[in-house]
């Protein structure tokens, strides 16, 4: 399978097929390898997701993991400084300290953070480590920072928390409704499908506080205030119901709870809603009519909806809208959350989650508990565990004593990082797997060097539930090791041997335990992957969900009232500050800041300011300015344009030297525990 061209001298070029390590689109391409080194990326024309295209991050991904400061040896902290040590010593320390803490404070004093950047196999073992070895359900991962409201919300509405349709179906939709998604920048190959649909004559409605690329060519662009999505969606449903545009047959036969919905949306008339969202009433009416009348309509959303204190409710609102118009369970329709990370879908599927076993089987279901106890030969805890959000809070409260964090940097990506730092500093033991030193790893007692996506074989699951292979292209750098092997060693040293010859064997165990992965094996997914649910070895995978009936039977409407963000503008802090992502950088910038072409495009932190706001403050483009919230302040360059709505500021969070999360609010969605990255109150001052 792996294309080795053995040449008699010099030119040993190889193409290793793999899946992109960046976003949840899951593009396939080839890593070019020459003399054991990564030397480029080549396109795959036949790959079902990338189809001969890529974005700039994918095509430069070869450079992102070969920075000179890759962690090459285990590090142990002595007297406040890191010293290099052997794997044997480091692992002995990790197993030893964790066992001590477990003995002294009990299993629930520990927590494991799986990684949405690492493989399914790793995440399966991470949760098995927490559950079977530590004895706790305190296992979670960074879906908490983004799409856990999706899981929570869609499980309530549909019975299943995943993207309902496939990525390629989007290009054939007659109407696309994109809310809270900067698709061309955060998911370029999905943004391509939106562009293609529009070029084919589809209608496009974009709702976003920023005038993003898709807003520029949309048929209807709604620039609403951050945190007013429920009001907007309720208003659209109000219009649809009052004009009789709902799909009456579909609602009658496939859903429940319409009356509850009607009662709530009744008051959200266009006139009532317009001042709340800051949008012309007439425009909302137009959007509602267009969406309802143009079928099939594909609804696309990402963190603009989920990263709010009402994240779960936002998700249920779009579910309401889609069900009302009969757009779920149809080809090229659906509710399509675009998962952010390369394997956040997989990490959820593998249950690096406090309340599920792999395959979304509930932790507090005695029958499920018994099934896993039998499979793993140990007693398991029936108590759902703590989310990462709450592990951090409980660390500060002294309840969580030890954390095992794999491939995540909460000191850059969690809201209100001042609080996070205080929490992590209180831990008795912190061990971190990383490929590069990060602010979180700096605080650790032990840092274990992990192998990157190019240095190991395993699987990622993309946003459309497609399980795909990554293939090892080069040897792990220095003494770094695939994370799954590290976890096996820790478990074994703590008394529970994890023995797997390779990741294919781990996937076999996953298939045996998680029905939605029942038919998944490395051999079966070699060419184009397989989309779950895939219950058995002859099943071809599932293109779209909820055909005929919802996972929970009937789709459920929920009546949801608009609730403003936890922190709204006032006299002292008159702006809404929102944060997000750019095309050229990725999350905490670990990989993209080390890639020449990417960092060259946007090498420094900035804040987007509306032209009229800038004029009032005598602020010009590229002037220095200070953005402050109740939690902190940053001095950055101002980028002045009409991109953001007046009264709104926007910052990327990719720059660890000027972390936006110094400013954001640690207010969380009570159900999904996701932070309100998209709205807090800020003030802006010119710096002279």
Partner 1 sequence: MPVISKIEIKNASITKNNLFALLDKISKEKTLIAPVRNELEDVDFLPVDNAAAICFDYDNTASSAKEFFFPQYECMFTFSGASNASIKDKNGNEEIVLFGLRSCDVKGMKLLDKFYQRTFEDDYYLSKRRKSVIISVACPELNEQCFCTATETGPVLLEGFDIQLISTGEDYAVQIGSQKGLELFEKYKRLFGPEVAVDVKKLLAQAKKKEPKFNLQKVYENLKEDKVDEKFWEDIASRCQSCGLCLFLCPTCSCYTVTDKDTPLGESRRSRQWDACYFRGFTRMAAGYDPIRNNKEMIKRKYLHKLVQQIDEFETSGCVGCGRCNLVCVGNVNWLDNIIKIERAG
- In this chain, which of 18, 21, 30, 114 binds partner 1, going by CB under 8 A? 30
For position 7 contacting partner 1 by CB under 8 A, the verdict is yes
For position 374 contacting partner 1 by CB under 8 A, the verdict is no
Q: How far is the CB of 518 from partner 1 (least distance, A)?
A: 25
- Bridge-based pairing state of the strands 429-434 and 402-406: parallel
- Bridge-based pairing state of the strands 13-19 and 3-4: antiparallel
Footprint of partner 1 on 224-253 (CB under 8 A): none
The Cα 255–Cα 556 span in angstroms is 6
297: its two tokens: 């309509």
Options 212-220, 240-248, 258-266, 341-349: segment touching partner 1 (CB under 8 A): 212-220
Angle in degrees, 0-180, between the axes of helices 270-277 and 229-242, rounded to the nearest 10 = 160
For position 45 contacting partner 1 by CB under 8 A, the verdict is yes
- In this chain, which of 41, 90, 265, 486 binds partner 1, going by CB under 8 A? 41
Q: How far is the CB of 46 from partner 1 (least distance, A)?
A: 5
For position 39 contacting partner 1 by CB under 8 A, the verdict is yes
Q: How far is the CB of 14 from partner 1 (least distance, A)?
A: 8
- The three-state DSSP-derived secondary structure of 610-668 is EHHHHHHCCCCCCCEEEEEECCEEEEEEEEEECCECCCEEEEECCCCCCCHHHCCEEEE
25: its two tokens: 């689109």
Q: How far is the CB of 43 from partner 1 (least distance, A)?
A: 6
Options 30-38, 219-227, 233-241, 289-297: segment touching partner 1 (CB under 8 A): 30-38
The Cα 409–Cα 321 span in angstroms is 35
91: its two tokens: 């692992």
For position 596 contacting partner 1 by CB under 8 A, the verdict is yes
Helix (H) or strand (E) holding 487: helix 483-493
Q: CA separation (Å) from 394 to 383, 399, 415? A: 16, 5, 16
Q: How far is the CB of 584 from partner 1 (least distance, A)?
A: 8
For position 17 contacting partner 1 by CB under 8 A, the verdict is yes
- In this chain, which of 70, 339, 433, 639 binds partner 1, going by CB under 8 A? 70
Query: Which of residues 17 and 659 has its CB atom nearest to partner 1 in the complex?
Result: 17
Angle in degrees, 0-180, between the axes of helices 229-242 and 281-293, rounded to the nearest 10 = 60
Per-residue contact flags (x/-) with partner 1 for residues 506 to 535, judged by CB under 8 A: --------------------xx--------
For position 188 contacting partner 1 by CB under 8 A, the verdict is yes
For position 201 contacting partner 1 by CB under 8 A, the verdict is no
Nearest one of 467, 389, 475 to 70, comparing CA atoms: 475
Q: How far is the CB of 332 from partner 1 (least distance, A)?
A: 18
Query: Which of residues 57 and 97 has its CB atom nearest to partner 1 in the complex?
Result: 57
For position 184 contacting partner 1 by CB under 8 A, the verdict is yes
Nearest one of 677, 613, 662 to 639, comparing CA atoms: 613
Per-residue contact flags (x/-) with partner 1 for residues 71 to 90, judged by CB under 8 A: -x------------------
Is 480:437 a contact under the CB 8 Å cutoff?
A: no
Query: Which of residues 59 and 300 has its CB atom nearest to partner 1 in the complex?
Result: 59
Q: How many residues would you count in the chain?
A: 688
For position 469 contacting partner 1 by CB under 8 A, the verdict is no
For position 92 contacting partner 1 by CB under 8 A, the verdict is no
- The three-state DSSP-derived secondary structure of 302-325 is CHHHHCCCCHHHHHHHHHHHHHHC
- In this chain, which of 84, 199, 282, 364 binds partner 1, going by CB under 8 A? 199
For position 9 contacting partner 1 by CB under 8 A, the verdict is yes
For position 620 contacting partner 1 by CB under 8 A, the verdict is no
For position 43 contacting partner 1 by CB under 8 A, the verdict is yes
Query: Which of residues 85 and 196 has its CB atom nearest to partner 1 in the complex?
Result: 196
Q: How far is the CB of 51 from partner 1 (least distance, A)?
A: 8
For position 195 contacting partner 1 by CB under 8 A, the verdict is yes
Q: How far is the CB of 665 from partner 1 (least distance, A)?
A: 32
Q: Is 51 left (phi over 0), alpha (psi -120 to 50) or beta?
A: left
Options 56-64, 388-396, 531-539, 673-681: segment touching partner 1 (CB under 8 A): 56-64
In 28-125, DSSP assigns E strands to 28-34, 37-43, 75-78, 81-84, 110-113
Angle in degrees, 0-180, between the axes of helices 311-324 and 229-242, rounded to the nearest 10 = 20
For position 67 contacting partner 1 by CB under 8 A, the verdict is yes
For position 397 contacting partner 1 by CB under 8 A, the verdict is no
For position 196 contacting partner 1 by CB under 8 A, the verdict is yes
Is 509:350 a contact under the CB 8 Å cutoff?
A: no
Options 211-219, 513-521, 658-666, 669-677: segment touching partner 1 (CB under 8 A): 211-219
Q: How far is the CB of 471 from partner 1 (least distance, A)?
A: 12
- In this chain, which of 83, 568, 622, 687 binds partner 1, going by CB under 8 A? 622
Is 224:233 a contact under the CB 8 Å cutoff?
A: no
For position 68 contacting partner 1 by CB under 8 A, the verdict is yes
For position 621 contacting partner 1 by CB under 8 A, the verdict is no
Q: Is 520 left (phi over 0), alpha (psi -120 to 50) or beta?
A: beta
Residues 6+ apart with CB under 8 A from 292: 240, 243, 245, 246, 324, 325
Query: Which of residues 238 and 595 has its CB atom nearest to partner 1 in the complex?
Result: 595
Options 26-34, 276-284, 320-328, 517-525: segment touching partner 1 (CB under 8 A): 26-34
For position 141 contacting partner 1 by CB under 8 A, the verdict is no
Residues 6+ apart with CB under 8 A from 661: 412, 413, 414, 415, 416, 417, 579, 653, 677
Helix (H) or strand (E) holding 551: none
Options 85-93, 111-119, 191-199, 243-251: segment touching partner 1 (CB under 8 A): 191-199
Q: Is 680 left (phi over 0), alpha (psi -120 to 50) or beta?
A: beta
Q: CA separation (Å) from 219 to 47, 222, 283, 416, 605? A: 31, 10, 11, 37, 32
Task: State CA 664 to chain mean position distance.
Answer: 18
- In this chain, which of 81, 374, 499, 600 binds partner 1, going by CB under 8 A? 600
Q: How far is the CB of 680 from partner 1 (least distance, A)?
A: 30
- For residue 483, count other CB atoms closer than 10 A to its CB: 29
547: its two tokens: 């055909």
Q: How far is the CB of 4 from partner 1 (least distance, A)?
A: 9
- In this chain, which of 34, 78, 267, 547 binds partner 1, going by CB under 8 A? 34
The Cα 121–Cα 119 span in angstroms is 5
Task: State CA 198 to chain mean position distance.
Answer: 26
For position 56 contacting partner 1 by CB under 8 A, the verdict is yes
For position 479 contacting partner 1 by CB under 8 A, the verdict is no
Q: How far is the CB of 214 from partner 1 (least distance, A)?
A: 11
Nearest one of 177, 161, 193 to 48, comparing CA atoms: 193
Nearest one of 632, 629, 619, 624 to 604, comparing CA atoms: 624
Would you tell me which residues interact with partner 1 (CB under 8 A)? 1, 3, 5-15, 17, 28, 30, 32, 34, 37-47, 52-56, 59, 62-63, 66-70, 72, 184, 188-189, 191-192, 195-196, 199, 213, 216-217, 477-478, 526-527, 583-584, 596-597, 600-601, 622
């Amino acid at each position: 399978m792996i294309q080795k061209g053995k040449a008699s001298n010099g030119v040993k070029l190889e193409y290793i097929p793999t899946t992109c390590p960046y976003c949840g689109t899951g593009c396939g391409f080839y890593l070019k390898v020459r003399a054991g080194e990564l030397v480029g990326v080549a396109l795959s024309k036949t790959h079902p997701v990338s189809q001969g295209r890529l974005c700039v991050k994918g095509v430069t991904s070869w450079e992102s993991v070969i920075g000179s400061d890759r962690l090459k040896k285990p590090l142990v902290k002595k007297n406040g400084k890191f010293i290099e040590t052997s794997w044997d010593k480091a692992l002995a320390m990790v197993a030893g300290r964790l066992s001590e803490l477990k003995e002294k404070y009990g299993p629930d004093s520990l927590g494991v953070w799986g990684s949405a950047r690492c493989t399914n196999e790793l995440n399966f073992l991470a949760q098995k480590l927490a559950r079977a070895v530590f004895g706790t359900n305190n296992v979670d991962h960074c879906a908490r920072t983004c799409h856990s409201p999706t899981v929570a919300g869609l499980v309530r509405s549909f019975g299943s928390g995943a993207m309902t349709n496939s990525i390629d179906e989007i290009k054939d939709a007659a109407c696309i409704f994109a809310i809270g998604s900067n698709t061309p920048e955060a998911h370029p190959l999905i943004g391509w499908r939106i562009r293609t649909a529009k070029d084919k004559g589809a209608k496009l409605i974009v709702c976003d506080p920023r005038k993003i690329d898709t807003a520029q060519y949309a048929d209807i662009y709604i620039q609403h205030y951050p945190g007013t999505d429920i009001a907007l969606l309720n208003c659209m449903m109000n219009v649809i119901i009052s004009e009789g545009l709902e799909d009456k047959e579909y609602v009658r036969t496939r859903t429940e709870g319409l009356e509850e919905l009607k009662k709530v949306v009744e008051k959200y008339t266009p006139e009532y809603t317009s001042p709340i969202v800051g949008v012309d009433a007439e425009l909302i009416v137009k959007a509602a009519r267009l969406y309802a009348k143009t079928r099939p309509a594909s609804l696309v959303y990402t963190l603009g909806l989920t990263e709010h204190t009402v994240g779960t409710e936002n998700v249920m609102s779009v579910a309401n809208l889609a069900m009302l118009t009969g757009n779920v369970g149809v080809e090229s329709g659906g509710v399509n959350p675009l998962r952010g990370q390369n394997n956040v879908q997989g990490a959820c599927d593998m249950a690096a989650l406090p309340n599920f076993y792999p395959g979304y089987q509930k932790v507090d279901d005695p029958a499920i508990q018994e099934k896993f106890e039998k499979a793993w030969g140990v007693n398991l805890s029936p108590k759902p565990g703590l989310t990462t959000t709450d592990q951090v809070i409980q660390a500060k409260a002294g309840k969580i004593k030890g954390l095992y964090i794999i491939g995540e940097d909460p000191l850059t990506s969690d809201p209100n990082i001042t609080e996070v730092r205080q929490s992590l500093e209180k831990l008795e033991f912190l061990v971190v797997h990383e490929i590069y030193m990060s602010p979180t790893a700096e605080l650790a007692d032990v840092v274990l060097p992990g192998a990157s996506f190019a240095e190991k074989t395993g699987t990622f699951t993309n946003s459309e539930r497609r399980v795909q292979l990554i293939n090892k292209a080069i040897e792990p750098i220095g003494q770094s090791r695939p994370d799954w092997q590290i976890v096996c060693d820790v478990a074994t040293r703590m008394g529970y041997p994890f023995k797997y010859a390779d990741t294919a064997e781990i996937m076999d165990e996953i298939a045996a335990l998680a029905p939605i992965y029942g038919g998944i094996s490395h051999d079966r997914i070699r060419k184009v992957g397989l989309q779950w649910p895939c219950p058995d070895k002859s099943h071809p995978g599932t293109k779209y969900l909820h055909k005929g009936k919802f996972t929970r039977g009937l789709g459920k409407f929920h009546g949801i009232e608009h609730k403003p963000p936890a922190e709204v503008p006032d006299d002292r802090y008159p702006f809404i500050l929102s944060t997000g992502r750019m095309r050229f950088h990725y999350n905490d910038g670990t990989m993209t800041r080390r890639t020449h072409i990417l960092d060259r495009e946007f090498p420094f932190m900035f804040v987007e300011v509306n032209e009229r706001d800038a004029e009032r403050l005598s602020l010009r483009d590229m002037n220095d300015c200070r953005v402050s919230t109740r939690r902190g302040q940053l001095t950055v360059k101002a980028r002045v344009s009409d991109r953001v709505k007046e009264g709104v500021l926007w910052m990327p969070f990719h720059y660890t030297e000027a972390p936006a999360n110094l400013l954001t609010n640690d207010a969380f969605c009570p159900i999904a525990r996701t932070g309100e990255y998209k709205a807090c109150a800020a003030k802006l001052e010119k710096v002279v």
